[in-house]
A and B are shown apart, each in its own frame.
Chain A
Amino acid sequence: MRSSPYSRLLVLLDGTERGERALPWARHLARGPGRVVHLLMVAPAARALAAGGRTVAFVDQLEDGARAAAHAYLGPVAARLREDGMTVWTHVRVGGLAQVTRAVIEELDADVLVLTDGVAPLLPLHAAPIPVLMSGPRSRRSA
């Protein structure tokens, strides 16, 4: 069996079980020496919370909370993949999904993006600069 044609996989997750249906394909495509899997979660940019004319939560507080929650989610997911002998990195970013994903693709020089539909409903497939593997609602096998 030959190694996967991809060496740097970017897997977009949203913290749901549905999103994790992308992981079997990540496992499949990461087969071979030197393959690296990058798990990415994108938290939407926060807005300050105000109540009664007073700010009760600042943007940085909300974003820090979202980052911490995302890291707490990604840690065990990455650990499971590492148990299978894979090299896994986790990334948490804040901002617009499409823009952040594109920026991370460039930053990591990823060569395939793997995700499940619903994780990125507004991500235009045709605009991605690299191949995008996505499974939809009728997919009997996980992406």
Chain B
Amino acid sequence: MKIKTLLTRPAITIGPATSIRDARALMRRRGIRHLPVLEHGRLVGMLAERGIDRADASSAPEIGVHDWLDPLADLVVADVMTRGPVALHPETSVAEAARLACDHRVDAFAVVDCDEVAGVVTRSDLLAVLGGLLEHRHPTGLGHVLAATSLRPGTRRALGEALRIAATAGAAVTALHVLPAASFVPGLEGATAEDVTRVERARRRVADEATAARAGRAQDVTCEVAEGTVAREIARRAEELDSDLIVVGAEARPGILGAFVETLADRLVRLAPCPVLAVPRSGARGAGR
């Protein structure tokens, strides 16, 4: 989203020689807290209500003669404004503007197009947009869960776990089984009837596993079969589906060498665009309790 979409009214600006009293009155009248300051049509500063408040505050340690004088009486905008303000182009993204607001500790940006001030975007405007986007996209931070299943006995638990977690957030679930590389590529010449049967069989088994994992719950699961190097294909699909979480079965590696053998979960942690939940096989405690 571009910041130009946040500009809802013509820019209200002020000159550097205007008195601070008038500037404050203008802000109050228009319900705004920041004014771009223009001199000969060019942006030279930003005046913030907070800056006026600071100038207005008495520095006397106790009530004295200073408090009976108006500290703003002789001040003009040029005395209080921030010089050399950071200006943004209307095509700047909201995300980039938010980053700049943090980097430069800026409360408001003048939006300038071809040397003309088009408006003002405040930190509050940016927060409202970003908050709304997050809320809309993933109300709970979890929009999609990819459950990778090997279809081996004992790994159904991973799919069940994916469904349980997705249910807490209303997230979509895709169950994916990856056939090892060098088998069948759908649509390519050379795919035999046997290959097609094998993929269909795998697809049915994934669907059966999803049905069993749902255990009667009304939860939609998209079932997919892909072909390739298993970890790489799962990571690729997670990227495509914009998954927030990958759930896989943790393969047991018994024996002395077990600790040194990299598992699918280990590989996925390195490759995946999102966190990986490794679920122990049936029989281990923890999952599904």
Contacts and interface: CB of A to CB of B under 8 A. Distances in A.
A128 B258 CA distance: 13
Contacts of A134: 265, 269, 275-278
B273 interface: yes
A65 interface: no
A122 to B, nearest CB: 9
B265 A125 contact: yes
Interface in B201-222: none
A141 B285 CA distance: 27
A41 interface: no
A3 B164 CA distance: 10
Given A130-B284, A130-B287, A138 B168 contact: no
Contacts of A126: 250-253, 258, 263, 265-266, 278, 280
Given A126-B250, A140-B274, A141-B244, A5 B165 contact: yes
Nearest to A109: B285
B274 A135 contact: yes
A125 B276 CA distance: 11
A117 B142 CA distance: 20
A1 B165 CA distance: 11
A85 interface: no
Nearest to B289: A111
A53 interface: no
B144 to A, nearest CB: 11
A139 B272 CA distance: 6
A87 B50 CA distance: 39
A136 B231 CA distance: 13
A95 interface: no
Interface stretch (A11-19, A23-31, A68-76): A23-31
B142 A135 contact: no
A3 B168 contact: yes
Given A31-B168, A132-B250, A139 B266 contact: no
B141 interface: yes
A130 B285 contact: yes
Contacts of A112: 286
B169 interface: yes
A117 B269 contact: yes
A2 B253 CA distance: 35
Contacts of B44: none
Interface in A104-143: 110-112, 117, 124-143
A61 interface: no
A131 B287 contact: yes
A128 B285 CA distance: 10
B161 interface: yes
B270 interface: yes
A136 B279 contact: no
Contacts of B276: 133-136
A11 to B, nearest CB: 13
B270 A133 contact: no
A66 B284 CA distance: 33
B259 interface: yes
Contacts of A130: 280, 284-287
A76 to B, nearest CB: 21
B280 A4 contact: no
A132 B285 contact: no
A67 B286 CA distance: 29
Contact of B278 (A3, A110, A128, A141): A128
10 contacts: A28-B141, A31-B140, A129-B280, A130-B285, A131-B278, A132-B250, A133-B245, A134-B269, A138-B272, A141-B274
Interface of A: 1-5, 24-25, 28-29, 31-32, 110-112, 117, 124-143
